[in-house]
Amino acid sequence: MKTFEFTGSGFGYIWLMLWTSVLSIITCGLFFPWAYSAQQRWICSNTYVEGRQLEFTGTGMGFFFQWLFIMVLSTLTFGIYIPWGYCQFKRWETANTRFVR
């Protein structure tokens, strides 16, 4: 049986959400890829699978143009592209998640 453990705290999450949300609002959403990357790093650094810690290696810059492409296509297709964009987004997230060595 696989055991999963999450060690994050509510205070850590509040601080993370506050600063990433403020920066996203100030930049009219352009900071979102960096905010999401920071959130994923926090989640992974607090997640253990069978005693092995996860690590998120993605960066905001690594996701920015992909995110921009998803936003443009979703807008141009009046939302029809959203399911495909979400899957593309999840592939990026998964490709950048690994176990700490």
pLDDT tens digits, one per residue of 12-66? 999 999 999 999 999 999 999 999 999 999 999 999 999 999 999 999 999 999 9
Nearest-angstrom CA–CA distance, 10 and 48? 17
Amino acid at 38: A
The answer to whether 81 and 68 are in contact (CB under 8 A) is: no
The answer to whether 21 and 35 are in contact (CB under 8 A) is: yes
In the prediction, which pLDDT does 83 show?
A: 98
* pTM, rounded to two decimals: 0.89
User: Is the predicted pLDDT of residue 73 greater than 90, yes or no?
Assistant: yes
Q: What is the mean pLDDT of residues 84-100?
A: 97
In the prediction, which pLDDT does 1 show?
A: 64
